[in-house]
Homo-oligomer: A and B are copies of this chain.
Amino acid sequence: MAGIKDVAAHAGVSVATVSRVLNGHSGVRDETRTRVLEAVAELRYRPNTLARSLRTDQTRTLGLVISDVLNPFFTELARAVEDAARSRGYSVIIGNADEQLTLQDHHVRTLLDRRIDGLLVSPADGQSLALREAAVSGIPMVFVDRWIEGLDVPLVRADGRSAVRSLVAHLYALGHRRLAIITGPVASTTSNERVHAFRSALREHGLPLPAAYIGQGDFQTASGRRVAGDFFALPEPPDAVFATDNLMALGVMEQLRMLGLRVPDDVSLAAFDDIPWFLHTDPPITAIAQPTQELGHRAVAALTDLVEGRSAGSVTLSAHLIARRSCGEDERTRR
């Protein structure tokens, strides 16, 4: 493959001049410039980014570590991140942690080894050694959606608490009194926030949240199935289930179908994170929607601020409830 030397030879100039032309530096005679450009075109020369980055110590690349690509919320987030990054002249390398600590750390290390300029992460697990090291190492870093307590890293997220309160009020108004929740991994900050908001909203309505109604999930479909199975093996099963992510809601539906139970007649269902398919499921599913695109854009804005030497603060947007038929009929959702 042709290198800058070949271009220089072909144009009859030095490599320094070629480099100057390529990087748009001033102080090159117009005639020289065009000669170089011709040589570039003729040889189909493309600069070697490895060499360039090695020399300049910047890759114009951002790393994004997400907990699960198969979760549509994260897919959309990744997409938004890539768009925002590209428009700012950065590439993005995605690492999928698959909700596993070891995989997450593997990707963090790999990305750092590649000398990315900044790291965007939605941590799957708070116990990550690699992430703590990265944070203290001083590499530009921003959390998005999920975060790790005790690290001084800007966070871009949506606060779901008021939406959870609305959801509980909605369920209460529809006559539900035995509300259950399916959580994410214990260490998950978002899951904890959702559980906490759920519990205190229940308290406001004078409802209990028995331990049996707290199902321990892991944000994956299978755990939704398992927990739903547990719930309906109870002597007094819940009459409404709130899954703290959309994959677990899918698992619940699969289990319900196996058990021959119907939504919302036998039990109501709601999920955190709205996705297009929720409109067309049987029945359409009530969900809490996050401003996913904006989350991605804001996160990239914060990260590039850091990368380019500006300062960046945390951003909190808000989520909102979208009521559909899966929690029962009322005047708003009937159609």
A residues contacting B by CB (< 8 A) are 44, 46-51, 53-54, 59, 69-70, 72, 75-76, 78-79, 82, 91, 93-94, 96, 109-110, 112-115, 133, 221, 250, 253-254, 257, 276-277, 279-284
Report Cα–Cα, A279/B44, bound state, in Å.
Answer: 50
A54 neighbours in B (Cβ, 8 Å): 48, 50-51, 54
Specify which of B49, B51, B69 is in contact with A75 (CB 8 Å cutoff): B69
Most B Cβ at <10 Å: residue of A59, A93, A112, A277: A277
Report Cα–Cα, A284/B51, bound state, in Å.
Answer: 53
Q: How far is the CB of A331 from chain B (nearest CB, A)?
A: 20
Report Cα–Cα, A94/B92, bound state, in Å.
Answer: 9
B280 touching A113, Cβ below 8 Å: no
Q: How far is the CB of A139 from chain B (nearest CB, A)?
A: 10
Which residue in chain B gives the minimum CB-CB distance to A110?
B91
A257 neighbours in B (Cβ, 8 Å): 279-280
Q: How far is the CB of A26 from chain B (nearest CB, A)?
A: 25
Most B Cβ at <10 Å: residue of A48, A50, A109, A283: A50
14 other A-B residue contacts (CB within 8 Å) besides A50-B53, A277-B281:
A46-B113, A49-B115, A50-B59, A50-B114, A69-B78, A75-B75, A82-B96, A91-B110, A250-B280, A254-B280, A257-B280, A277-B277, A280-B282, A282-B284
A53 neighbours in B (Cβ, 8 Å): 50
Mostly helix, strand, loop or mixed at chain A's interface?
Answer: helix
A70 neighbours in B (Cβ, 8 Å): 75-76, 79
A221 touching B115, Cβ below 8 Å: no
Specify which of B79, B113, B221 is in contact with A276 (CB 8 Å cutoff): B221
Q: How far is the CB of A137 from chain B (nearest CB, A)?
A: 8
A115 touching B50, Cβ below 8 Å: yes
Report Cα–Cα, A78/B69, bound state, in Å.
Answer: 9
A51 neighbours in B (Cβ, 8 Å): 54
Q: How far is the CB of A63 from chain B (nearest CB, A)?
A: 11
Report Cα–Cα, A49/B53, bound state, in Å.
Answer: 11
- Please name 15 pairs of A and B residues whose Cβ atoms are closer than 8 Å in the assembled complex, sorted by A: A44-B133, A46-B109, A46-B112, A48-B113, A49-B113, A49-B114, A50-B54, A51-B54, A54-B54, A75-B75, A79-B96, A91-B110, A257-B279, A281-B281, A282-B282
Which residue in chain B gives the minimum CB-CB distance to A109?
B46
A44 neighbours in B (Cβ, 8 Å): 133
Report Cα–Cα, A283/B114, bound state, in Å.
Answer: 47
Which residue in chain B gives the minimum CB-CB distance to A82?
B96
A48 neighbours in B (Cβ, 8 Å): 54, 113, 115
Specify which of B93, B109, B276 is in contact with A250 (CB 8 Å cutoff): B276
Report Cα–Cα, A69/B78, bound state, in Å.
Answer: 9
